A and B are shown apart, each in its own frame.
Chain A
Amino acid sequence: MNSSFIIPKFRLPGFVARLGQKLPQWPHALALVAGLNAALKMKLLPESELALLEDKLFRVRILDTGGEACYTYSNGLFRPVFTPQREPDLAFAAHLSAYLQLLSRQEDPDTLFFNRELEITGDTELGLIVKNMLDAVEWPKFSAGLPVFRH
């Protein structure tokens, strides 16, 4: 991603969420799991922390698209869960812009959490493990472009 591109804070109109909730949710789960497994394949995620995710149920909800995805991690792979039978161990909820700002490392997760733009519920320690794991990933796509103010 180009470092000069700033993702603004935005909210999609309400009808998008109303429509999104009526659409099937399985494509979100499949897409998310495919991305996570690609990261696994590239060995971007640390093995010692991955072991702590074993059989945990995660839910990612995008408030303004009405989309949500549940997944778990077991036997070395992330797997989609299409019909969860229980409450997730860890759940994230935020608007699309917050997720994009987070993933592009434009905003700090603590800042988003404190400002109530990112909701994390469930097992707090698991949440911290996931947060720190994502922080420790060296995304090949973004690493080259951090803006440098120094002259």
Chain B
Amino acid sequence: MTSLPDLVCPAGSLPALKAAVDNGADAVYLGFKNDTNARNFAGLNFDAKTMAEGIRYAHGRGREILLAINTFPQAGRTADWQKAVDAAVDQGVDAIILADIGLLDYARHSHPSQRLHLSVQGSATSYEAINFCQREFGIRRAVLPRVLTLAQVENVIKNTTVEIEVFGFGSLCVMNEGRCWLSSYACGESPNTVGACSPAKYVKWDKKPGVMETRLNGVLIDQFGDDEPAGYPTLCKGRFEVQGETYYALEEPTSLNVLEILPDILKIGVRAIKVEGRQRSPTYVAQVTRTLRAALDSLRDGSERFHVKPAWQAELAKVSEGSQATLGAYSRPWR
């Protein structure tokens, strides 16, 4: 029997949390209804009551709840983020996912027994950075930014006793994690300041005959023909004219999908695999969770006979952004 990494799934609502638990997530990660988390969208996330119910539901079935407080305290408002940490401890979450080192320090000293994870937004890509956070703040797990090759992930794991969590599925962005200001460039707000990339109030989908235009605070991001798939209204996914040519100047809309390299991820000792998408619906959470659960379970008896079932790929392709998938930085043959 191979020990499997935890499957960590997203939830922006109670039905999504239950969908994750019912479909085989080992842990579910959530956020409060405010700008202490990077998916601060209207109508999304948990208040004290729904969080308590969600925790009861997950714990009653032997699963964990992780709480993301993964934005950076704004000047003059540090207390709001500290209160969020206190509230998370009071709620009894299994771990808090933090990005800001000031907040990590606060959590470590105010709640020494609380399990802390270093968020992907903390942008720690080396074992030195991770070991520093272990030494100073006692972090038990680090979520790696999506910029490392599998060999680099393995090197990190070999040189730290901190558990390593990697992304397994979900939308990709420019991966300048915790440091991206592209959204602010267009509208003055970004995940690091208000907890949301390209906030909806700045987004305009303009339907004209034969074409739909997407604008972010007036800036034309992209335009789609009637039968062309649409993408997220973010600058990084836009098509722009550069030196006379119009194309995806920053990156193509695509989703990360690690099914193909799942046995390798297990072999190098990854402790948890994370699914992106707290802003997505309970349906997405159910579809992705049950697919990755089935794939992971098929590895329980060893990886020799592992093969990626077409049904898994079809299910994940359906919910992928741009309906296409990539191994991202994990597979980069060049050095």
Contact = CB atoms under 8 A, between A and B. Distances in A.
Interface of A: 46, 49, 52, 105-111, 113-116, 119-121, 124-125, 127-133, 135-138, 143, 146-151
B236 interface: no
A114 B42 CA distance: 20
A148 B43 contact: no
A85 B279 CA distance: 34
Given A111-B319, A116-B228, A128-B43, A138 B294 contact: no
A120 B205 CA distance: 8
B111 interface: no
Contact of A121 (B19, B205, B291): B205
B200 A135 contact: no
A35 B295 CA distance: 39
B14 A138 contact: yes
Given A124-B201, A135-B13, A148 B282 contact: no
Contact of A105 (B43, B201, B282, B294): B282
Given A106-B283, A138-B14, A149-B290, A132 B204 contact: no
Contacts of B200: 124-125, 127-128
Contacts of A138: 14-15, 18
B238 interface: no
Contacts of A114: 229-231, 321-323
B247 interface: no
Nearest to B16: A135
Q: Interface centre among A108, A109, A113, A116, by most B CB within 10 Å?
A: A108
Interface in B255-296: 279-284, 286-287, 290-291, 293-294
Given A105-B282, A108-B281, A124-B203, A116 B290 contact: no
A116 B205 contact: no
Contacts of A135: 12-13, 15-16, 43, 281-282
Contacts of A132: 12-13, 41-44
A136 B15 contact: yes
B136 interface: no
Contacts of A119: 207
A146 B229 contact: no
B24 interface: yes
Given A105-B283, A116-B228, A136-B43, A124 B204 contact: yes
Given A125-B200, A137-B15, A146 B23 contact: yes
B23 A149 contact: yes
A136 to B, nearest CB: 4
Contacts of B199: 125
Contacts of A107: 283
Contact of A149 (B201, B226, B281, B294): B294
6 contacts: A46-B43, A105-B281, A109-B283, A135-B281, A136-B50, A148-B290
B318 interface: yes
B225 to A, nearest CB: 9
